[in-house]
Amino acid sequence: MARRMPTWVLGLFCGFVLIGSGCGNRVLEVEGSVEFDGVAVASGSISFEPADGPGRDFGGVITDGKYKITSPPGVEPGAKKVRIRAARKTGRQIPAGSPSPPGTMVDELVVVPANYNDSSELTAHLEAGVANRFDFKLVSGSPIP
């Protein structure tokens, strides 16, 4: 005496499955390379914030001049403000100072200027469903070329 399921029930079920699996888990993917004064950034961070309106930021690390980031689910595509924090070593060693134990030495650094991070002028337009690619060439002490 098994009755057949009405077609609309099946349709509704499939609809819910599609909504549940599709829209909710959308992520953005972005990758690229970062150079500072012509040299690949050995270690740094890059973040993408909504350029305007609501939304959340996401980011990741730059390693050996490259980054590859998948955003958390629910990040909207669109115009993003990009912030890059990195430095290059001068090759000299300087004392770390407290609270590191006395005698600890660290690398002297030249940091990426503020117009790439705190007052960033870098932007990127991220699209959903494609592998976004943005390469950045940063220079110290002068505006973005």
Partner 1 sequence: MRNSLFRRTPRLANQPGFTLIELLVVIAIIAILIALLVPAVQKVRESAARMQCTNNLKQIGIGTHGYHDANKRLMPGYNYNATTDISEATWLYFLLPYVDQMQIFATANLSQNFGSLPNANSTLNGYLPAVYSCPSDSMVAKTCWNFYIKGSYAGNDGIGPMVSPAGGWTGPGVTTIGVFMMNTKITMTDITDGTSNTALASEIIKVTGATDDLRGVMYYPEGPLYQHNTGPNSTTPDNLRQGACMNVPEAPCIGTTYTAYNNRSLIMAARSRHSGGVNLALADGTVRFVSNTVALTTWQALATIRQTDVPADF
Q: Minimum distance between the CB of residue 99 and partner 1, rounded to whole angstroms?
A: 4
Q: Minimum distance between the CB of residue 85 and partner 1, rounded to whole angstroms?
A: 5
Q: Is the Cβ of residue 15 or residue 73 nearer to partner 1 in the bound state?
A: 73
Q: Minimum distance between the CB of residue 46 and partner 1, rounded to whole angstroms?
A: 8
Check: CB of residue 32 under 8 Å from CB of residue 133: yes
Longest dimension (CA), the chain: 85
Q: Is the Cβ of residue 66 or residue 85 nearer to partner 1 in the bound state?
A: 85
- Spatial separation of the C-alpha atoms in residues 35 and 61, rounded to whole Å: 14
Check: CB of residue 100 under 8 Å from CB of residue 86: no
Q: Is the Cβ of residue 1 or residue 118 nearer to partner 1 in the bound state?
A: 118
Q: Is the Cβ of residue 11 or residue 20 nearer to partner 1 in the bound state?
A: 20
Q: Is the Cβ of residue 3 or residue 92 nearer to partner 1 in the bound state?
A: 92
- Spatial separation of the C-alpha atoms in residues 121 and 127, rounded to whole Å: 20
SS3 letters across 49-115: EECCCCCCCEEEEEECCEEEEECCCCCCCEEEEEEEEEEEEEEEEEECCCCCCCCCEEEEEEECCHH
Q: Minimum distance between the CB of residue 61 and partner 1, rounded to whole angstroms?
A: 5
Pair of tokens at residue 50: 């909504």
Q: Minimum distance between the CB of residue 23 and partner 1, rounded to whole angstroms?
A: 14
Applying CB under 8 A, the residues found at the interface with partner 1 are 42-45, 47, 49-50, 53-61, 69, 71-72, 74, 85-87, 94-101, 104, 106-109, 111-112, 118
